[in-house]
């Protein structure tokens, strides 16, 4: 196999891994990767605002609202008025949301983070450079993207 084919096979494997993880997540807990990431962020503190989620995921407030709406319909989170500032609404994880996190497969991006963190600094830098070069080769370097490995539900980015 020549280098062009080898590089295309590697890209395809990455795309398939994200697709398969998305399907596994949907089957196990009925969530997309983006919805699951929102749930994880809420679970970290027990509650947070849509603005905090938007900033953390680097996606628009409208997209967060849509993702939270879906989680509310599935009884994974609730919207609760803040006790300290009545203008603010907090998103609070429910027991069902906690169970979903416990039952979900190991998130693909967390596997990546663990293995990436284990690399030497020079390896991390080389990998970032190579991935940025691939994005440029695909004319994708200017596409906004949240730090969520997902090929399913598209995200409207701010």
| Domain containing residue 117 | 3-137
**13 lies in a domain?**
yes
Of all residues in the chain, the percent with pLDDT exceeding 90 is: 42
Model pLDDT, residue 70: 95
Q: Which residues contact 54 (CB under 8 A, 6 or more apart)?
A: 60, 61, 63, 64, 158
147 inside domain: no
Q: How far apart are the first and last CA of the chain?
A: 41
Tell me: the pLDDT tens digits for 27-79? Answer: 888 898 889 999 999 999 888 999 999 999 888 889 999 999 999 999 999 99
Is 157 inside any structural domain?
no
Task: Check residues 27 and 1 and name the one with the higher pLDDT.
Answer: 27
For residue 151, being part of any structural domain is answered with no
Q: Is residue 101 part of a domain?
A: yes
Q: Which residues are paired to 13 by β-bridges?
A: none
Residue 137 has pLDDT above 70, yes or no: yes
The band of 156, judged by pLDDT with boundaries at 50, 70 and 90, is: very low
Mean of pLDDT values over 87-104: 92
What pLDDT is recorded for position 33? 85
Domain count, the chain: 1
Specify the pLDDT at position 120: 96
**What 3-state DSSP class applies to 102?**
helix
């Amino acid at each position: 196999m020549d280098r062009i084919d080898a590089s295309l096979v590697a890209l395809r494997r990455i795309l398939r891994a994200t697709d398969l993880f998305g399907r596994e997540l949907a089957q196990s807990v009925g969530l997309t990767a983006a919805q699951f990431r929102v749930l994880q962020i809420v679970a970290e503190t027990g509650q947070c605002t849509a603005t905090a989620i938007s900033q953390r995921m680097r996606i628009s407030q409208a997209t967060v609202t849509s993702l939270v709406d879906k989680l509310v319909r599935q009884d994974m989170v609730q919207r609760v008025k803040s006790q300290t500032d009545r203008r603010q609404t907090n998103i609070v994880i429910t027991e069902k949301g906690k169970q979903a996190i416990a039952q979900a497969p190991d998130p693909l991006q967390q596997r990546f983070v663990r293995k990436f963190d284990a690399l030497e600094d020079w390896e991390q830098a080389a990998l970032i450079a190579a991935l940025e070069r691939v994005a440029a080769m695909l004319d994708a370097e200017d596409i906004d993207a949240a730090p969520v490995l997902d090929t399913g539900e598209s995200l409207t980015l701010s």
